Amino acid sequence: MSAGPWTICANSAAGRGRLILALGRASGGAVTRSRVRRIAREVLAGRCERPEGADLLLLARSDVSRHPRRQVRGSLAELLKRLSAALARQAGQGQRHA
């Protein structure tokens, strides 16, 4: 699933789940990559839609540092909302088939 400069993959996990954030060197220098990671953690920490019990692989495109911070935050929040809805639908379908 993608939105803006982000792509996210989720895999079910036992327990609380983990966040794996992948940023290549093409995204910018160390300071820039750290800023993008910090923005991603802030968005994930403040979202009630964060999927529980899922490992999240968050990939940032190389041009993520060229986008305004507001757009980076907004696109990640939208992506998390879409992912949560998709996981909820998937869980609902799994319960109906059981």
pLDDT tens digits, one per residue of 10-41 = 877 677 777 788 888 888 889 988 998 898 88
The CATH number assigned to the domain holding 45 equals 3.30.230.10
Strands lying side by side in the sheet with 2-3 = 2-3, 6-12, 54-60, 19-22
Number of domains in the chain: 1
pLDDT tens digits, one per residue of 67-94 = 898 998 999 888 888 888 887 787 777 6
The whole domain housing 42 covers 2-97
In this prediction, residue 21 carries a pLDDT of: 87
Decide if pLDDT at 97 tops 50. no
Query: pTM score, two decimals?
Result: 0.74
In this prediction, residue 90 carries a pLDDT of: 77
